[in-house]
Chains A and B, each alone.
Chain A
Amino acid sequence: MPDNGAAEAKPASTTTNGAAAETRRQRMRMLISALGMLPVLLILCIGFNVLSEGRFFTGQNLGIVLQQAAVNTVLAAGMTFVILTGGIDLSVGSILAASAMAGLTLSKMPELGLLWLPAALLTGLVFGIVNGALIALLRLPPFIVTLGSLTAVRGLARLLGADTTVFNPSIPYAFIGNGSLTLIPGVASIPWLSVIALLVILVSWLVLRRTVLGVHIYAVGGNESAARLAGIKVWAVLIFVYGISGLFAGLGGAMQAARLYAANGLQLGQSYELDAITAVILGGTSFVGGIGSIWGTLVGALIIAVLSNGLILIGVSDIWQYVIKGLVIIGAVALDRYRLQGSART
């Protein structure tokens, strides 16, 4: 808006006549922001399929892509909650490792073995709530708090296994890591990991878009001071989002443990937070908070998985994969900037 004078001098008749055009423009804008990076995802898939001479679009390869995307999707869903409030959670990779270690350790105890799954989830939740409490109650910056727990929780993860790799070849619920849900016997099945990821996305959508809490999350990210004056318990919202991020990191840890039958406190989940953040930003969620959607995050996570898978398929070296992924992150933030220019925020 160039000037108050221009906008307020607008005669009423122009507003009514322009209403239809404005509605159309609004719809167009919503469509563009809803579709977001979906066209990019499709172009990447088709491009890789051409370059790999048809090896991308095979049932087996798509299954692999979905499975590879699963854990990052779950982490990115939690990250979406956090970034929507204008925060950041750098500790999800470490929390994932600590939860997997806690779960695996418990699974080896004969009488408690079945409890390993809830234990992993609980571990993640507790770390997340600690993050949230430090941020909401002590008013510490999220970047600093979660940077601290990135390091501290990594240390705890190593402590849990006495700095060794913990194996459990007979871990209960192993099917969630390696099994598939049969949709049509002998024709179509979908990995359990992907089913879980999809459920996480659905639950996140329900919370963000259909509950009071969801509106409050967007409100806190959009304008924290206004949210406080509007009577929203900002501290509770913040503890919730970091708690959810921790819980989903715990779930990610359980998924990894079930898939690998093992976990190593030092190596597991290293730099996973970066992929999760990338997925969220690629999905169009604004880094300053208040704008974004969970479906965008799903698309973002799929883009990352397709990139990794496709680059391997066409034989790009590991080193170049890093370079390309890094450029994608920068491109995504540039896109975020560009998108914000067009919005109401000035």
Chain B
Amino acid sequence: MNDPILEMRGVSKTFFGIKALRAVDLTVYPGEIHALMGENGAGKSTLMKILSGAYRPDAGGEIRIEGRAVRIEGPLGGRAAGISIIYQELSLAPNLSVAENIYLGREISRSGLLARGTMREGVGPILKRLGADFLPSTLVAHLSMGQRQLVEIARALHVRSKILIMDEPTTSLSAAESERLFALIRQLRAEGLAIIYISHRMDEVYALGDRVTVLRDGRLVGSLDKPEIRADTIVRLMVGRDVSSFYKKDHDPEAGRGHPVLAAIDMADGGRVKGCSLTVHAGEVVGLAGLIGAGRTELAHLIIGASPKTSGRLELEGRPVEIRTPGEALEAGIAYLTEDRKALGLFLDMSCLDNINLAVLGRDAKLGWFLDRDKARERADRAFAGLSIRAANAGVPAGGLSGGNQQKVLLSRLLAIAPKVLILDEPTRGVDVGAKSEIYSIIDNLAKAGTAILVISSDLPEIIGICDRVIVMRAGHIAGEVSRGPNSPLAQEDIMGLATGMEHLDA
């Protein structure tokens, strides 16, 4: 192989005495797609921010680009060193045109006036090279997420970056857009760029990665070459222990499988969900798998009445129920844990105590109006003890807690109503490894107690680890169901096949 383009030797980063990154060595070659994996909090984003110049590494480490030691400083330092980052949340100005975005901060002017024409001509060749189907003069607001990503990549190429870092680039892309992006990434690799690809998704890493580097707790725990890339190896490196002990599943799927609790029949919203039916039994953990954009969250929102449905009905314990608002869903005993706990779940400025009690304030209230503060404190204390929430006390604002503890606070709010049906949307997203394991055992215990649980997750090992059976959605439909055989576990290939539509090719 030729000379490395990027070498990091012993790079560390300490925040307030806490090591976020410990002596990481990373070598990246031109013309390679280097996948970077690790749990949230493993140090991926810290590493990335060091390369972009947002953080300065601790003294002692060394970063070399094309063999020369460099110091990357300030937000423009990364770009000057030839490194560009495509962020999860795109950093484009939607009110400006494609050309203006690509030239942002480096506008061309002629005697003080903006030279729009020159700028448009300047970006033409790059857009063409990327196969863009829009004009340099198009407003970014009019572009799809996939097209916007293309603009970001064009910006990186325009400043002649040699290293492209992509942070979960497919999070907001449809399946077709993702495919196009993959083709483009391969093309860039062929052109000799080095691509550091950060992703949680095993299928993407399989498809793209030439090498995989895994971080855990700020350490580099392993680098795998293409032939060694296997899901179980990666997961073991990421969680640092054997997968089978990581996922807890003690409830007996056969004995526990009680009467049907929730039946959703022919649910549709006239857009993303096109006639879906599913049933969840008491004491059962059902997975809802599918690619991003398959309509899983939208289906959950239809069930709890968070968005209006165009058709469909619900049965709860065999009786039809009408649910029009999330409040009615809670009253009926259907609780929903949102995938976006900061934007849609928690009240970050409010105390954990208020966050936990929010759903039962009315039920607990004295004279129907006045807060029962003793009851609230008891309930919060019970939740803190029962779910081992780590915070100074229940009075601190929820926003100050770590991701895992925030998730447990939100979960406590739902459990306070003693739900019959619990719908968990990405219950371990942004949660550290320890809390993840704790959340799995909470789910397991609830199933043992007879709660009907539906888990939406994009993390296949998680779904396979904790669910009794898996319903797979694809493009707004239920694509099929994968069950656990008497002696065979749920097969990842079957689920991915249904999710991507590949099962037709096999047949």
Q: Chain A interface (Cβ within 8 Å of chain B)? A: 2-10, 12, 14-15, 19, 22-23, 26, 210-216, 218-219, 222-223, 225-233, 290-291, 343-346
Contact = CB atoms under 8 A, between A and B. Distances in A.
Contacts of B349: 218, 222, 290-291, 343-345
Interface in B438-453: none
A230 B359 contact: yes
Given A12-B390, A228-B306, A344-B398, A5 B45 contact: yes
Instruction: Determine chain A's interface SS by DSSP, over half rule.
Output: helix
Interface of B: 15-16, 18-21, 40-46, 49, 55, 217-218, 304, 306, 325-331, 336, 338, 343-350, 354, 357-359, 361-362, 365, 369-371, 390, 392-393, 395-400, 402-404, 413, 430, 432
B40 A228 contact: no
Given A3-B20, A8-B404, 6 more contacts: A3-B49, A5-B45, A23-B392, A215-B350, A229-B304, A229-B344
Given A5-B42, A6-B16, A230-B326, A219 B392 contact: no
12 contacts: A5-B218, A9-B19, A211-B370, A212-B365, A213-B369, A218-B349, A219-B350, A225-B343, A229-B344, A343-B397, A343-B399, A344-B349
Nearest to B218: A9
A232 B327 contact: yes
Contacts of A232: 327, 358
Contacts of A15: 390
B358 A219 contact: yes
Nearest to A25: B392
A160 B215 CA distance: 73
Contacts of A231: 325-331, 359
Contacts of A346: 399
A212 B362 contact: yes
Nearest to B22: A9
Given A4-B41, A8-B402, A212 B371 contact: yes
Nearest to A22: B392
Contacts of B370: 210-212
A210 B374 CA distance: 12
B365 A6 contact: no
A212 B364 CA distance: 9
Contact of B326 (A215, A223, A229, A291): A229
A290 B350 contact: yes
A213 B371 CA distance: 9
A346 B359 CA distance: 25
Nearest to A344: B399
Nearest to A23: B392
Nearest to A2: B15
Contacts of B49: 3
Contacts of B21: 5
Contact of B347 (A19, A210, A223): A223
Contacts of B304: 229
Contacts of B399: 343-346
A26 B348 contact: no
Nearest to A211: B369
Contacts of A10: 18, 402
A211 B371 contact: yes
B32 to A, nearest CB: 25
Contacts of B345: 226, 229
Contacts of A9: 18-20, 41, 43, 217-218
B45 A3 contact: yes
Contacts of B20: 3, 5-6, 9
A222 B362 CA distance: 19
B221 to A, nearest CB: 14
A202 to B, nearest CB: 15
Contacts of A225: 343-344
Nearest to A8: B41
B343 A226 contact: yes
Contacts of B402: 7-8, 10
Nearest to B215: A5
Contact of B397 (A4, A210, A344): A344
Instruction: Count chain A CB atoms within 10 A of each CB in B16, B347, B371, B396 and give the residue with the most.
Output: B347
A215 to B, nearest CB: 6
Nearest to A6: B15
A268 B19 CA distance: 63
Given A6-B20, A9-B43, A222 B404 contact: no
B167 to A, nearest CB: 12
A215 B343 contact: no
B430 A4 contact: yes
A293 to B, nearest CB: 13
A214 to B, nearest CB: 8
B219 to A, nearest CB: 10
Contacts of B393: 23
B343 A230 contact: no
Contacts of A290: 347, 349-350
Given A4-B41, A210-B371, A211-B369, A26 B347 contact: no
A212 B369 contact: yes
A17 B347 CA distance: 27
Nearest to B368: A212
A212 B361 contact: yes
A229 B305 CA distance: 9
Contact of B348 (A2, A19, A344): A344
B341 to A, nearest CB: 9
A344 B400 contact: yes
A16 B400 CA distance: 15
Shortest 10 CB-CB contacts between residues of A and residues of B: A344-B399, A8-B41, A231-B327, A6-B15, A222-B347, A8-B432, A212-B361, A22-B392, A5-B20, A344-B397
Contacts of B41: 4-5, 7-9
Q: For B306, B325, B403, which residue has the most chain A Cβ atoms within 10 angstroms?
A: B325
A4 B396 CA distance: 19
Pick from A7, A8, A19, A219 the residue with the most CB of B within 10 Å. Answer: A8
A281 B397 CA distance: 21
A10 B328 CA distance: 40
**Which of A7, A216, A228: most chain B Cβ within 10 A?**
A7
A218 B350 contact: yes
Contacts of B330: 230-231
Nearest to A233: B327
Nearest to A291: B349
Nearest to A286: B349
A282 B361 CA distance: 31
Contacts of B45: 3-5
A223 B371 CA distance: 21
B458 to A, nearest CB: 18
A228 B329 CA distance: 12
A211 B370 CA distance: 4
A233 B361 CA distance: 13
Contacts of A343: 349, 397, 399
B7 to A, nearest CB: 22
Nearest to A340: B349
Select the residue from A9, A23, A227, A291 with max chain B CB neighbours within 10 A: A9
Contact of A229 (B331, B336, B357): B336
